Structure 1
Amino acid sequence: MSKRPRLVDTADLRRSGGKGTVVEGSAHGPELTGGEERAELKRWQVSAAVGHMLGTASDSEELLRELARLLVPEVADYCVTYFREDEAIRRVGAAHADPGNERWVGRLADLSEPTIADDYGIGAVIRTGEPILTGEVSSRSFEGVVRGAQDLELLQRFAPVSGMLLPLRSRRQVLGAIALTTTNRSNRRYEEGDLAFGLELADRVALALDNARLHEVVNDELKRRDIAEESLGRRYEQLRVLYDLTAAVGRAGGEAEIHDRALDGLRDGLDVRRGAVLLFDADAVMRFTAWRGISDEFRQAVEGSSPWAVNARDPRPIIIPDLEADRELSADLRAKVLREGIRAMTFVPLTVGARLLGKLMLYFDAPRSLDEDEVGLASAIASTVAFGIARANDERNVREAKEAAVRANEAKSQFLGIMSHELRTPLNAVLGYAELLLLETKGPVNSGQRNQLERILSSGRHQLELVEELLTYTRLEAGREEPRWMETDIGRVVRDVVELVRPEAESKGLRFSMQLPDGPISMVTDPARLRQIVLILAGNATKYTDAGRVEIRARKEGDDLVIEVTDTGQGIPERRLEYIFQPFSRVDESRTRVTTGTGLGLAIARRLAKLLGGEVRVSSAVGVGSTFWLTLPRQPFVGGQDS
């Protein structure tokens, strides 16, 4: 005869720490009666159902809701499950043997919202981890819970008879609790054996609940990692698109190529297959400059439409996620866009600083709203493209300005050359006839006539020098001045200049001197151009010096020749030291200046020095004087060969 199954005695349960264990056989205690056997069978069935549910559950809240349904009506007439969240307690599941009363169970449970600080009830069970068994519910159990007649009516409606509050304990933590209650529907009273069974179930549920929570934590972490990886991948792709776009814009040969690269960036970064670039024209009208996926009819129908005026300040992207639902656009414009098969679109401004250049248009065949990252990418693409367009415009403007300046300079040089030739021809005639008159070829002249003729010759020769300066300058500007290289005696060149300038210096009471090396200095250069440079420097020194001295020194410095012209004149302000080498410039720009000339002398001297492979430098102090240095290589680079 087989033995009936039974539960460990309650005393054994307490000695084993509250854990109930089902064993077979009848080694201890009396055999089960028929009613007890049926109750034990129900417990086994409930235990098996709970075990199956725990084996398949992965969501902690769904587990507690399902548990409440499983325990009713086999274990309780109604059941409420609770979940602990830090210091708060939240009701999760509620079930009643009569499905129509389930909503009242929730209201009943909410009569007294449990807290961790409670001395009795769910709050105390969760705080202490100790179960509470109420074998017989008395009217005193309602004290402190009932807040009015309606609450009392609700309690009486359910007529609770007995109850158990079971903690859900795992790893020394209380995760929640189960409230089991019987009513006069079953008129069942809970005993120690029920408590043992309940605690056994509660421990199993707590373990599964803990595992579910760990599973949720792991899943949440995996989701966060997936989201982070997806975000990182998306960000990497956005950066790649921007990098490629920036490089492409930097290499672009013109605006048209920049526009194409903009549409490539929208396609690669945002999967925009239909788009356009529009820029304001000279009349402040928005015009299509590049497009993809739209018809000519559509462009003609909407061209000129813009949400911003050309002087708009701080324009922002405009997103229309669903054109059919939008009422911001005019009915006419919306109809034109819908006829093109466009269902959503986004306007992105092209701005550089505070200047609005135009816009990017993103068209979509289905409703679509860009998220924050996508708007950021579209704006970054627009910023890169706008910068490229502005740079291309600036480069074109600079190129056109340079070309215009070159043309103007060529015209100026041509004009100066023509005028110089036209002036030199009659001047030569005037000077020639004046010289013939002085030679008395047409008869004798008196002293007054001779004096006047000499003045004509002096003024004419001065005018001819100015004309020759203009001719020299125009030839240098046009690149038509070629040096004639030959062996040159530097001493002779310096002495020739001294002989030409000394009379003017002595007429002003200046001491004029030269200093040459003991031995001869000979080098390959253009003697005429060299003489012209030294004459300009010495002539200027004499012209701008009213008292003191002018000195010319020549010397060798390594492989270079240095000719130095020093004066004790008025000096040049430091801020104008480079300015004086500009064409038509003077040290004294005042209307009352007493010196004459074209202002081309030093400009010609520096250009001629460069033509001969050298340079002209200056050092000066106002009120002290100036020193100019001409430095030439003694073996200049000529025609690609060292001479």
Structure 2
Amino acid sequence: MKTEKQLFTQLNKVELEAALHQVFIYHAIDNRGALASTRQADAVAAQITDVAWRFIQGEVDEPDVTAVAIDLAQRGLTVLTGAALMRTLGEMGLGGDTAVFQCLNTFQLLFLEKLAAARELEQQRIQERSQTALQRALHTQLEQQIDRHEAQTRYNHALNNILLLNARLSQTDNEKDLIDAAVSGICQALDLSSVTLYTLSDTAQSWTIHTTTADHPQPGEEIEPDTLSQLQAALRQDGEVVRFYQTEKGEDGLAVAVLLRGGGRLLGALVAHSSNVADTDREAYIILLRTFSQNLAALWRNLYLRQETEGRTHELEILYGRYIDQLWRTDQSALQARLQNNELHLERPSTISPLSDEKDSLPLKIGDRVLGQIHLPGLEDLADDDRDYVQAIVREMGNALNNTRALQTAHAYSNQASRLFETGRRISEAKDETDVYRALIAFAQDADLADMALILAADHADPDYLISPIIWDRTDGLREAGNRFSRDKYTFSDQLTRNAPFLLENGQEDARLDEATRHLFARFDYRAAALLPIAVENEWLGTLALIRREARPFTDEALRPFQSLTNQASAILANQQLLRQTETLYQLGRSLTQTITRDDALDIAVQEVARYTGADQCRFVLYDLRSGKGVIAAETAGATVSRAIELPILGDTIFNRLNKEQSPLLLSENTSDISAETIRRHALQFGAKASLLLPATSQQELIGYLAIDSQRGERPFTQTNIIFAQTVVEMLTTQLENIKLFDEALQRAQELITLNQIQSNIARVLSIEKLAYIVYEQIGRLLDNTIFLLARYDARTSIYQPILTIVEGQPVEIPERTLKPDDLLHQFLHQEQHLSLNSAAPLMQAEQLPLLEHPSQSGLWVPMWQENTPAGFISVQSFNARAYNENDVQLLRSIAIQTSLALANAELFEHIQQQNEELRELDQLKTQFLANMSHELRTPLNSIIGFSRVILKGIDGPVTPEQAEDLNSIFSNGHHLLNLINEILDMAKIEAGKMNLAFTQVDMVELSQNVHKTVEGLIDAEKVELIWQVPEKLPTIEADPMRFRQILLNLLSNAAKYTETGQIQFAIRPEGDQIHIIVRDTGIGIAPENYDRVFAPFEQVDNSNTRTTEGTGLGLPITRWLVEMHNGRIYFESELNSGTTFHLFLPVQQDMAADNPFPAKLQTAQVNIPVSQP
């Protein structure tokens, strides 16, 4: 029998998976990476349902749940989405028994804990990657711009070389020179490894090498099998085959085979090998090679026609000359010759009609074709021999006439071939389309085949119009007209775009023409016309129109030279168009890469596409998956539709189709597989009759589309324009990704800067109230803090104390309270988990602030912990739903950590301040006590010193030697104790700020002599040498004489104390407006680690219990203070076991208005001072 768990899970598994599926779709916008796509809903719902089901069954445990959570976190599942999924999981499990509910609860907590930990780790990785990606993006963007510029430079250089080569080739007048120059020239122009031209035998069975730049194989040698296979493949395919291979040196090689066709005839094949073409240059390289091959084929064909025509002309001239010689040598010739105006005229004496049917007439024929008749009276009466002779003469006459006509034709062909060759050269050297048009019209004018010749082409500024940039007619001659024809009015113009000649015998009556075009023929009295397309790869570039006044159609033979030239012009115009397009894309790419905002990039793209394609308007629709709508992010200037229009994503056919097919989509009234409402929403409401939508994708996901609108039809949607627009969209998408990456990295950097600023700002604040306001203001720079709450919590007493509560900028007072264990806020504080909640969450409802007109719709709650103990929380709430994302959670967590530390510091500071105040009071009591005690001690001590002195002098009677010794000890120690008490009193006065100086003029010589006598009693003259270096004349200084004497005695007595043997040197040196006093000894010196203790109160260099010197350690600190009060400075130099030197600088005159410029902490240095001899 199945357990309750098994029964419950089996009954609810499908329902649970469906519920998780819907929740995931709703929250997918909050995810990252692959899981941001709603397509992942099925897989994620199934994965979570399966692991939950197996966890309830006991088939998996914590490591398995951890693995699933980590996997989903790494794929992009956020804590927000995970929490929503777990809530749904809990709601679906409420119908089961207690055991099932407990298992589900355990699974929820475990999954969310592992997911949060994994996402936090992933977030850190993302932040690191974002910073790295920012640097890489900037570097890559710079490299791409450099590479694009270099590629464009290489392309322009190669194209210029090819144009120069074409110009040289057009001047070549024989086939061998043409082929040799072409093969070697293209090899140098494109820096190729080798170029070989092959020809095919008449039987189409074998290829042979005609010319090559390769070392092998050479003409006459066997062709390599790979090359032969490539040539055969070119014959079977479109005439162009690309092959990749490895060279003998291991390099990647590229072989391109292009067939050369001219006039419907295969002339040969060009095979180019290269091993240095970069992947980014490959397409441009193939286009250049193809364009050159087309031009070479046209030049080769023209040269072949010219040579053939010249050969035939030469043969006919020879034949005609021989026949005339023979004819004039015949005695029976019936022709008469007459020389007039330097011309030879052949006359027939008979004037009978050539159309006579009489029996005495003979037909004048060439083969079976009758040219005329010869009338001979009495022909019937002639004998048979004579009759045969006459007929032979008539046959010879027909041959002579035919030869004459052939000669004239040959001359015409020769002239035509010369003109054709010259026109082909002009077309090859054309710098722009106008030069090409002029060359074609000039050829038509010289051919004398039509009464009018003109070029028809699409107006680049408005594809709904045709323009005629150049026209020639017999009346007005050549002119650049610039006439414009509406294609809606002259609907026959759409026939021009078909890649086939169109012939008219009478344009005034031809039913294939529209009425406006027929009226145009009648208006100018024209009838026959030949319309020859200028097109390449089914892309119409223009039309050469030849028009006659008479209704005599153009023959194929007459039009053949024009077709050859239009084919050549097509290749040149396509090449020029490609160059313009490449330059435009390059400039556009530079403009896009320089943009730093999305709007700038979008505006540049739509404006440039509209300008290039001539569309009425362009717009870019950007999809926002968070809101589920598409918005018009950019549109061309002058667009009449507001950007406020929104296009829903859910259920939208256009979104689904573009996202699935990711190819251009044409919308018009004739589109049958899309609903009329959808077409209206995406095209017609913008005033467009037809719209071409080009999808923009990022990481295989649709982010929007570029719409090209036409108000009159599909004419702007040519293949060239579509390719251009698609290229722009690809460039735009790449730039949008870079901008997004840059913005994210910049935002993250700004957030880090802000966090550092927050940390810096709050770290300096030691007032809790001021700290709370600063945290509120700083959070407002990053997050929606419409409602802000910062509170402290004492885990020992469970007291919850709001520090600062602000609603819409106004502070609100909330009383503190004691939380109970069953309070939701108490549970939140002790869980150590942040929460992202909506208005339906129990905690949001329980802690809803009073007096709010509208409840908050979303909120973030982040606890603050100190030493593994809850210490409070920060909460921000918004009146907008879904106002916070996972990044906001991480930001608030970081701020909460810093705030927790700052609060702890502020609390500690308050505690320390309180302790300092208590210590200050104790210090004041100590100082007062010392002053009082010292005063009380000095009175009896003076009596002891005085009476001991009286007894020693024998005033009270004689004393024994033993008594004298004891009295001297009492007297000496009394003086010592008095000095100690005086020092303590001085220090107490200093700390209490009651030490005052009485400045007067002091005689340095007299004062030093007084000090000298005192110092002599402090040293043992047999062991210590006292060197006294005081000049006889010294300036008087402004000082307190008593304190100045105390300074000198302190320094000298200190030197005597630490110098048992050696020297003590005292020197005074005037130095400008200062007096320099030096006290140097050769005593024990000071170790470097004790330098900081020299001027510290109650400190001695030797503080051990075994020290041999006595004192309080106040002499030098008091000395330094007294020196600084004299606006002087003091420092020392010392080396252990070598002695110490104190330097004292005092001003001669005191500046009472100046502040004390000397620091309290004096500089020290360790140096060796040589002791000078007196």
**TM-score bucket (shorter structure):** 0.5 to 0.7
For residue 1083 of structure 2, the aligned residue among 558, 569, 573 is 569
Question: 2:1048: which partner in 1?
Answer: 534
* Aligned partners of 2:786 and 2:879 also within 8 Å: no
Alignment of 1:451 onto 2:1003: no
What is the percentage of aligned positions where both structures have the same residue? 25
In the alignment, the residues of structure 2 paired with residue 500 and residue 629 of structure 1 have an alpha-carbon distance, to the nearest angstrom, of 21
Alignment of 1:275 onto 2:788: yes
Shift of 1:525: 1.0
In the alignment, the residues of structure 2 paired with residue 282 and residue 598 of structure 1 have an alpha-carbon distance, to the nearest angstrom, of 50
Question: 2:768: which partner in 1?
Answer: 255
Question: 1:427: which partner in 2?
Answer: 941
Question: 2:806: which partner in 1?
Answer: 292
SS in 2 for 1:506: coil
In the alignment, the residues of structure 2 paired with residue 443 and residue 263 of structure 1 have an alpha-carbon distance, to the nearest angstrom, of 88
Shift of 1:298: 9.7
Question: 1:592: which partner in 2?
Answer: 1106
Shift of 1:205: 14
Question: 2:836: which partner in 1?
Answer: 319
In the alignment, the residues of structure 2 paired with residue 473 and residue 540 of structure 1 have an alpha-carbon distance, to the nearest angstrom, of 17
Alignment of 1:581 onto 2:1095: yes
Q: Deviations over 1:419-473 (max 9, x none)?
A: 2112112211222332333344444433332332222111111111111111111
SS in 1 for 2:1149: coil
Alignment of 1:494 onto 2:1022: no
Mean alpha-carbon deviation: is it higher for 488-497 or for 535-544? 488-497
Alignment of 1:305 onto 2:808: no
Q: Deviations over 1:216-245 (max 9, x none)?
A: 986996999699799969959986998997
* Aligned partners of 1:349 and 1:359 also within 8 Å: yes
Q: Deviations over 1:66-108 (max 9, x none)?
A: 9xxxxxxxxxxxxxxx96979xxxxxx999xxxxxxxxxxxxx
Counterpart residue identity of residue 568, structure 1: T
Shift of 1:475: 1.3
In the alignment, the residues of structure 1 paired with residue 735 and residue 1155 of structure 2 have an alpha-carbon distance, to the nearest angstrom, of 74
Q: Deviations over 1:180-225 (max 9, x none)?
A: xxxxxxxxxxxxxxxxxxxxxxx99997999699699869969996
In the alignment, the residues of structure 1 paired with residue 804 and residue 1155 of structure 2 have an alpha-carbon distance, to the nearest angstrom, of 54
Question: 1:559: which partner in 2?
Answer: 1073
In the alignment, the residues of structure 2 paired with residue 245 and residue 64 of structure 1 have an alpha-carbon distance, to the nearest angstrom, of 43
Q: Structure 1 residues 383, 227: CA separation in 2 closer, same or farther (over 3 Å shift)?
A: farther
Mean alpha-carbon deviation: is it higher for 371-380 or for 543-552? 371-380
In the alignment, the residues of structure 2 paired with residue 244 and residue 616 of structure 1 have an alpha-carbon distance, to the nearest angstrom, of 42
* Aligned partners of 1:508 and 1:546 also within 8 Å: no
* Aligned partners of 1:513 and 1:550 also within 8 Å: yes
Q: Structure 1 residues 630, 352: CA separation in 2 closer, same or farther (over 3 Å shift)?
A: farther
In the alignment, the residues of structure 1 paired with residue 1135 and residue 756 of structure 2 have an alpha-carbon distance, to the nearest angstrom, of 55
Q: Deviations over 1:13-59 (max 9, x none)?
A: x9959xxxxxx9889xxxxxxxxxxxxxxxxxxxxxxxxxxxxxx99
For residue 628 of structure 1, the aligned residue among 1142, 1149, 1159 is 1142
SS in 2 for 1:578: helix
In the alignment, the residues of structure 2 paired with residue 64 and residue 392 of structure 1 have an alpha-carbon distance, to the nearest angstrom, of 56
Q: Structure 1 residues 468, 306: CA separation in 2 closer, same or farther (over 3 Å shift)?
A: farther
* Aligned partners of 2:837 and 2:844 also within 8 Å: no
**Pairs within 5 Å for 1:81-92:** none
* Aligned partners of 2:839 and 2:845 also within 8 Å: no
Counterpart residue identity of residue 410, structure 1: Q
* Aligned partners of 1:323 and 1:344 also within 8 Å: no
Alignment of 1:544 onto 2:1058: yes
* Aligned partners of 1:287 and 1:303 also within 8 Å: no
Q: Deviations over 1:292-318 (max 9, x none)?
A: 347848977669726355xx9xx6632
In the alignment, the residues of structure 1 paired with residue 813 and residue 737 of structure 2 have an alpha-carbon distance, to the nearest angstrom, of 41
Shift of 1:572: 0.9
Q: Structure 1 residues 257, 225: CA separation in 2 closer, same or farther (over 3 Å shift)?
A: same
SS in 2 for 1:638: coil
Q: Structure 1 residues 528, 65: CA separation in 2 closer, same or farther (over 3 Å shift)?
A: closer
* Aligned partners of 1:288 and 1:303 also within 8 Å: no
SS in 1 for 2:966: helix
Q: Structure 1 residues 245, 510: CA separation in 2 closer, same or farther (over 3 Å shift)?
A: closer
Q: Deviations over 1:526-559 (max 9, x none)?
A: 1111111111111111111111121211121121
Q: Deviations over 1:580-605 (max 9, x none)?
A: 11111111122111111111111111
Report the TM-score, using the length of structure 1 for normalisation.
Answer: 0.58
In the alignment, the residues of structure 1 paired with residue 720 and residue 839 of structure 2 have an alpha-carbon distance, to the nearest angstrom, of 45
In the alignment, the residues of structure 1 paired with residue 929 and residue 734 of structure 2 have an alpha-carbon distance, to the nearest angstrom, of 80
In the alignment, the residues of structure 2 paired with residue 65 and residue 318 of structure 1 have an alpha-carbon distance, to the nearest angstrom, of 35
**Pairs within 5 Å for 1:183-262:** 254-262=767-775
Larger RCO (CA within 8 A; separation ≥ 6): 1
SS in 2 for 1:577: helix
In the alignment, the residues of structure 2 paired with residue 220 and residue 353 of structure 1 have an alpha-carbon distance, to the nearest angstrom, of 53
Counterpart residue identity of residue 307, structure 1: F
Alignment of 1:477 onto 2:991: yes
Q: Structure 1 residues 347, 266: CA separation in 2 closer, same or farther (over 3 Å shift)?
A: same
In the alignment, the residues of structure 2 paired with residue 591 and residue 348 of structure 1 have an alpha-carbon distance, to the nearest angstrom, of 57
Shift of 1:409: 3.8
In the alignment, the residues of structure 1 paired with residue 656 and residue 951 of structure 2 have an alpha-carbon distance, to the nearest angstrom, of 133
How many residue pairs were aligned?
A: 459
Q: Structure 1 residues 428, 295: CA separation in 2 closer, same or farther (over 3 Å shift)?
A: closer
Shift of 1:479: 1.9
Q: Structure 1 residues 560, 437: CA separation in 2 closer, same or farther (over 3 Å shift)?
A: same
Counterpart residue identity of residue 585, structure 1: E
Mean alpha-carbon deviation: is it higher for 489-498 or for 354-363? 354-363
Alignment of 1:612 onto 2:1126: yes
Q: Structure 1 residues 316, 208: CA separation in 2 closer, same or farther (over 3 Å shift)?
A: farther
Counterpart residue identity of residue 438, structure 1: L
Structure 1: which 5+ residue stretches go unaligned?
A: 1-13, 18-23, 28-57, 67-81, 87-92, 96-169, 171-202
Question: 2:415: which partner in 1?
Answer: none
In the alignment, the residues of structure 2 paired with residue 357 and residue 534 of structure 1 have an alpha-carbon distance, to the nearest angstrom, of 59
SS in 1 for 2:931: helix
Report the TM-score, using the length of structure 2 for normalisation.
Answer: 0.34
Shift of 1:506: 2.3
Shift of 1:499: 1.0
RMSD, aligned α-carbons: 5.3
In the alignment, the residues of structure 2 paired with residue 298 and residue 209 of structure 1 have an alpha-carbon distance, to the nearest angstrom, of 73
Alignment of 1:336 onto 2:846: yes
SS in 1 for 2:959: coil
SS in 1 for 2:1094: helix
Alignment of 1:505 onto 2:1015: no
* Aligned partners of 1:569 and 1:626 also within 8 Å: yes
In the alignment, the residues of structure 2 paired with residue 545 and residue 568 of structure 1 have an alpha-carbon distance, to the nearest angstrom, of 6
Q: Structure 1 residues 336, 295: CA separation in 2 closer, same or farther (over 3 Å shift)?
A: farther
Alignment of 1:516 onto 2:1030: yes
* Aligned partners of 2:1097 and 2:1117 also within 8 Å: yes
* Aligned partners of 1:278 and 1:358 also within 8 Å: yes
Q: Deviations over 1:162-181 (max 9, x none)?
A: xxxxxxxx9xxxxxxxxxxx
In the alignment, the residues of structure 2 paired with residue 505 and residue 448 of structure 1 have an alpha-carbon distance, to the nearest angstrom, of 25
Q: Structure 1 residues 633, 465: CA separation in 2 closer, same or farther (over 3 Å shift)?
A: same
**Pairs within 5 Å for 1:87-102:** none
In the alignment, the residues of structure 2 paired with residue 639 and residue 65 of structure 1 have an alpha-carbon distance, to the nearest angstrom, of 85
Shift of 1:258: 3.0
